Amino acid sequence: MSENVIIFDTTLRDGEQSPGCSLTLSEKREIAVRLESLKVDVIEAGFAVASRGDFESIQAVSDQVTDCVVASLARALPRDIDTAWESLRRARRPRIHTFIATSDIHLVHKLKKSRAEVLESAGRAVRYAKALCEDVEFSAEDATRSDPDFLIQVLGEAIRSGATVVNVPDTVGYTTPQEYFDLITRLRERVPGIERVALSVHCHNDLGLAVANTLAAVRAGATQVETTINGIGERAGNAALEEVVMALRTRRDFFDRTCRVETARIFRTCKLVSTLIGRPIPANKAIVGANAFAHESGIHQHGVLADKRTYEIMTPESIGLAQNTLVLGKHSGRHAFDARLAEMGYAMPEEERVRAFERFKDLADRKKNVTALDLEALLSDTRPDADSGYKLERFIIHNGNTIPATANIRLSRAGEEWEEAASGDGPMDAAFKAMEKIIGLSLELEDYAVHSVGEGRDAQGEVVIKIRGGGYAAMGRGLSTDIVEAGLRAYLNAVNRMLSGKSLSEEFRAAS
């Protein structure tokens, strides 16, 4: 019988440390709910001592989640551990996750401690955390660049001190699959008491090997894997949950390991995270990219038509990817719409369904064929907070290659309306300047990306932008069949996030 691998998701902690990927409290709560429905085993909700926002988000996730362990990160310091515990007090299954670096390069240049001091600190931190919380995870930061004999000492001390999980992070993405396999094998053979605890791995993707290293560790006997949705995280990111899980599922014959993740919820979870952080999933992304199940080559198409197994090692349905066929039109009623939502696996409160149906009818008036992909995009753009703050009421754009671009914009907020006009270098520049007059901010546009949702000349356009002003930055997303309107909605979405206090300015960050 296949042994179960524990899936530890750190999207809300390590994933959020990816530049530009900060999330609001409500967004973190929404992702936590989705992760719980995905049936991950552990949700690392944040680094409590890092900021008041992290502390509150861990509390919120602790209140919300009932079926997962909720973890909070802490350095091997009493203040960090106390703060982590305070943030977790209301969790049904809390875990304190404490860490200290063990590589000589970190000891000399960052910690300025001897090996003896680090060994003592590790044991003391675990004992301190254990007095507060039964479930304690210990991580040896930069484990793969540590002296293996010293690493064995530290992990042994953590286990003797009461750790229930010991983690062996490849913090800077330095190792290779064979090296990691050998290290995990050596630790299992030589660390006293390791058979009594979960052995975890946490891999970064600096050399593009995070998933390969994670799977090599599983083969060597690791029992917990630490991942993020879409592989987001520090620098080049972390091991992608969807890739690790589908590798275990698709190659169960090789790994002889399984997990409890409901794979049919993978695509929707990946899409939600992509939407909330304002980062489109690359088309060539494994498992959930737009091209993952696309076949352009004539030879491939012929093979797939004959038998999908010729070029597909998993099915789109196995990750919850709906077939992109016509689902509804402008004459479809509320019954048909609600039935299709249920078929796609959406359970939404009545208020959200009403809002979604209104958006659908508006889209159906503009677009002849409303596909499953259109609905996925529309639903991800119809969250309770999606329309808060400034709203776009009307825009008129004049533009051409022989005249300067001008824009007339009308916005509303809390029952009040404002209208301004401006000219600029192109329609979007003019429109943004008009909106800045209304909002009263001078903003810098740092990034502007557009891609289509679906196919055809009437496909919806999705615009993702990043703006900065006054030391703050924010991402925004907009969706419309009119690409100019999509850009304006993205700009307003970013402005509203900024005004709600969403800052991407640098905060204290962990490096585990």
Q: Choose the most confident range, by mean pLDDT, from 328-337, 340-349, 354-363.
A: 354-363
What CATH architecture applies to the domain 391-499?
A: 2-Layer Sandwich (3.30)
Query: DSSP alpha helices (H): ranges in 332-426?
Result: 334-343, 350-366, 372-380
For 98-131, how does the pLDDT look when each residue is reduced to its tens digit (9 = 90+)? 999 999 999 999 999 999 999 999 999 999 999 9
pLDDT at 503 over 60: no
pLDDT at 416 over 70: yes
Question: Where residue 451 falls among pLDDT bands split at 50, 70, 90?
Answer: confident
- What per-residue confidence (pLDDT) applies to 307? 58
Report the chain's mean pLDDT, rounded to a whole number. 88
- As beta bridge partners, residue 7 has 225
Report, as an integer, the average pLDDT of 145-163. 98
Number of H helices, E strands in the chain: 17, 18
Domain boundaries, the chain: 3-277, 293-321, 322-384, 391-499
DSSP 205: -
For 471-493, how does the pLDDT look when each residue is reduced to its tens digit (9 = 90+)? 778 888 888 888 899 999 999 98
Question: How far is Cα 483 from Cα 267, in angstroms, rounded to an integer?
Answer: 25
- What per-residue confidence (pLDDT) applies to 374? 75
Query: Which residue type does 30 have?
Result: E
- What per-residue confidence (pLDDT) applies to 191? 98
Question: Where residue 384 falls among pLDDT bands split at 50, 70, 90?
Answer: low
Question: How far is Cα 330 from Cα 326, in angstroms, rounded to an integer?
Answer: 12
More confident residue, 373 or 12: 12
How many CB atoms neighbour CB 245 within 10 A?
25
**Inter-helix orientation angle 52-64/78-88, to 10°:** 40
pLDDT at 326 over 80: no
Give domain 3-277's CATH superfamily.
Aldolase class I (3.20.20.70)
Of all residues in the chain, the percent with pLDDT exceeding 70 is 88
Question: Where residue 351 falls among pLDDT bands split at 50, 70, 90?
Answer: confident
Question: Where residue 504 falls among pLDDT bands split at 50, 70, 90?
Answer: very low
Least confident of 215-229, 263-277, 356-370, 408-422: 356-370
The answer to whether the predicted template modeling score (pTM) of the entire model surpasses 0.85 is: no
Question: How far is Cα 462 from Cα 316, in angstroms, rounded to an integer?
Answer: 23
More confident residue, 98 or 374: 98
- What per-residue confidence (pLDDT) applies to 181? 98
pLDDT at 300 over 90: no
The secondary structure of 413-450, three-state, reads: ECCEEEEEEEEECCHHHHHHHHHHHHHCCCCEEEEEEE
Which tokens sit at 196? 């009594």
- What per-residue confidence (pLDDT) applies to 509? 36
- What per-residue confidence (pLDDT) applies to 18? 76
Contact 14, 238 (CB under 8 A): yes
- What per-residue confidence (pLDDT) applies to 381? 65
Report, as an integer, the average pLDDT of 69-78. 98
Question: How far is Cα 392 from Cα 216, in angstroms, rounded to an integer?
Answer: 51
- What per-residue confidence (pLDDT) applies to 325? 53
Report, as an integer, the average pLDDT of 184-213. 98
Contact 341, 352 (CB under 8 A): no
Least confident of 186-195, 278-287, 470-479: 470-479
Report, as an integer, the average pLDDT of 17-27. 79
More confident residue, 322 or 66: 66
Question: How far is Cα 338 from Cα 238, in angstroms, rounded to an integer?
Answer: 37
